[in-house]
């Protein structure tokens, strides 16, 4: 009774066009209209911005080089070129430098994340973490460039140490060496590790600290036995991120590095400048394979999907 009454009134009093437009809206948002397609949006996004460029990179890396561009074909020339020149050695070294950056960033940054999680009141935690993102407000080029007058021969560090009498000769082994690049990378990526460490610590319940205190675990034991295993997936994700940036971001070695401090990103950039597009593509493809390899290992060890699961 009441049901039909309601339906009648809706149909007549609302006027002709209204039910029709309602119908259209309902159809658009129903499960088999736009709603259904909305589910595919991420898939489309991934195909458009991830799979297609990746595939093109790989395909182009096998193309033949021409004077200014490339032409379709299949040649391993770019790869041979890469692996048989100093580039490969540079690439391996950049992986080493990157690993050092990861370790240093972790050692410096992760305790900050642990501290914030443990000692800062929950309501203020996110604000404190935001402070670490503030440096990102400054362009990375400027941030990196500012290190030159700091680390250089007559830079801030050298002047300071000389004035203190700690050293008599300025240290010249910082700027334009791998050390300079590592310093630049650590400063650049530290906020990332603090942030990802903070997220990783979400997997560590707060009560853990008190339980450890009660059982008599030292800080060190608490850290290694409890915190690190629990936060491992998050730590790994953060580390991979820094590592990949370390070998991929051309900016830092091009400003702070020297002949011996080149990374994959810079090799690719230089190849593009030299108009050797297939080589640049090959370098990128090798970087991607490296990344996928790391992720595969990480997934095997930590089941990375756990990071995305809500914690109880």
Partner 1 sequence: MNETKDIAIEVVGLSKSYGPVRALRSVDIAIGRNEYFVLLGPSGGGKTTLLRMIGGFTKPTAGRILLHGVDVAHLPPDKRPTCMVFQSYALFPHMTVAGNVGYGLKLKGMSKAEIQVRLDAVLEMVGLNGYQARMPWELSGGQQQRVQLARALVLEPEILLLDEPLAALDEQLRKDMCIWLKHLQERVGITFIHVTHNQEEAMSVADRIALIADGELVECGDARQVYRTPARRFTASFMGESNLLDGTVAEVSGDGTVTVDVGIARVAVPSADATAGIQAAVSVRSEAMRLIPRDQAQGADEQALDAIYQEEIYLGLMTRQIMALPNGQTISVRSVSDDDEAPAFQAGDAVRVVWKTAAGRLHLS
Nearer to partner 1, 208 or 275 (CB): 208
Nearer to partner 1, 226 or 295 (CB): 226
**123 belongs to the binding site for partner 1 (CB under 8 A):** no
Q: Which is nearer to partner 1, 208 or 304 (CB)?
A: 208
* DSSP β-ladder status, 70-71 and 64-65: antiparallel
We find the least distance from the C-beta atom of residue 117 to partner 1, in angstroms, to be 16
Query: How many residues does this entry show for the chain?
Result: 312
CB of 243 to partner 1, least distance (A): 24
DSSP state of 311: P
Nearer to partner 1 by Cβ, of 146 and 211: the residue is 211
Distances from the Cα of 159 to the Cα of 142, 152, 155, 297, 307, angstroms: 22, 10, 6, 45, 45
User: Total residues contacting partner 1 (rule CB under 8 A)?
Assistant: 15
Q: Could you say whether residue 55 binds partner 1 (CB under 8 A)? A: no
- Coil vs helix vs strand at 114: helix
Least distance from C-beta 306 to partner 1, angstroms?
A: 11
Q: How far is the CB of 205 from partner 1 (least distance, A)?
A: 7
Q: Which is nearer to partner 1, 231 or 285 (CB)?
A: 231
Closest CB 211 distance from partner 1, rounded Å? 5
Backbone angles phi, psi at 247, to 5 degrees: -90, -15
Q: Which of 262, 232, 231, 264 is nearest to 245 (CA)?
A: 264
Cβ neighbours of residue 262 under 8 Å, at least 6 residues apart? 90, 93, 94, 253
Q: 21 or 311: whose CB is closer to partner 1? A: 311
Q: Does 303 bind partner 1 (CB under 8 A)?
A: no
What is residue 65's three-state secondary structure? strand
Question: Of residues 171-230, which lie at the interface with partner 1 (CB under 8 A)?
Answer: 205, 207-208, 210-211, 213-217, 221, 225-226, 229-230
Does 153 contact partner 1 by CB under 8 A?
Answer: no
- Nearest approach, Cβ of residue 182 and partner 1 (Å): 32
Label residue 298 exposed, middle or buried (CB < 10 Å: 0-12, 13-18, 19+): middle
User: Angle at CA 302, nearest 5°, toward 94 and 308?
Assistant: 100
Residues interacting with partner 1, by CB under 8 A? Answer: 205, 207-208, 210-211, 213-217, 221, 225-226, 229-230
């Amino acid at each position: 009774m009441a049901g039909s009454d309601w339906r009648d009134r809706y149909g007549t009093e609302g006027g002709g066009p209204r039910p029709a437009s309602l119908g259209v809206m309902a159809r658009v948002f129903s499960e088999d209209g736009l709603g259904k397609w909305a589910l595919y949006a991420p898939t489309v996004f991934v195909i458009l911005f991830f799979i297609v460029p990746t595939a093109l990179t790989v395909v182009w890396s096998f193309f033949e080089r021409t004077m200014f561009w490339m032409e379709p074909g299949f040649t391993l020339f770019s790869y041979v070129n890469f692996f048989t020149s100093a580039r490969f050695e540079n690439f391996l070294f950049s992986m080493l430098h990157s690993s050092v950056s990861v370790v240093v960033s972790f050692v410096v940054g992760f305790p900050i994340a642990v501290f914030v999680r443990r000692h800062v009141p929950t309501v203020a935690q996110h604000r404190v973490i935001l402070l670490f993102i503030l440096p990102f407000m400054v362009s990375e080029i400027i941030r990196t460039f500012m290190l030159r007058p700091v680390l250089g021969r007559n830079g801030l560090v050298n002047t300071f140490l000389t004035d203190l009498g700690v050293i008599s000769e300025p240290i010249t082994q910082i700027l334009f060496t791998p050390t300079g690049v590592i310093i630049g990378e650590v400063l650049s990526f530290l906020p990332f590790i603090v942030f990802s460490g903070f997220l990783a610590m979400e997997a560590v319940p707060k009560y853990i600290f008190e339980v450890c205190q009660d059982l008599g675990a030292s800080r060190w034991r608490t850290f290694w036995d409890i915190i690190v295993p629990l936060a491992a997936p998050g730590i790994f994700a953060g580390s991979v991120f820094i590592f990949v940036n370390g070998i991929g971001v051309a900016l830092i070695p091009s400003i702070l590095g020297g002949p011996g401090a080149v990374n994959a990103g810079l090799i690719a950039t230089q190849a593009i400048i030299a108009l050797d597009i297939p080589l640049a593509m090959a370098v990128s493809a090798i970087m991607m394979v490296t990344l996928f390899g790391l992720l595969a290992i990480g997934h095997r060890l930590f089941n990375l999907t756990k990071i995305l699961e809500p914690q109880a």
